[in-house]
Amino acid sequence: MMDAARTLFSERGYENTGINDIVQASGVSVGSVYHHFGGKLEVFSAPTNGLSSIHATASARTAKRAVGAESASPATMYLAGRMPTA
């Protein structure tokens, strides 16, 4: 369903893509779309939310490693999202 939605949004745009278009292109039921996503906006933003979550997890992991490293320079700490303490 997400592949079909992504293709439709890319080709037609958000305004010109409806839930019924996504249902028809993907073969899922209308009820499945609303059950899993709630509506068109949630379907549209799901890939972005997933990427944001991946980036946040990676940033947190990197910050933990930088904080734990004795040789972490102020630049490394800054890039990891932590301000160095004096």
DSSP three-state, residue 7: helix
Domain harbouring 31, CATH code: 1.10.357.10
DSSP three-state, residue 10: helix
Residue 34 is assigned to a structural domain of this protein? yes
Q: How many separate domains does the chain show?
A: 1
Confidence at residue 86, expressed as pLDDT on a 0 to 100 scale: 47
Q: The tokens of 69 are what?
A: 């490293």
Residue 24's domain comprises 2-79
| Residue 70 in this model has a pLDDT that exceeds 70 | no
| Residue 67 in this model has a pLDDT that exceeds 80 | no
Confidence at residue 48, expressed as pLDDT on a 0 to 100 scale: 73
Residue 9 is assigned to a structural domain of this protein? yes
pTM: 0.57
Arithmetic mean of pLDDT, 7-20: 94
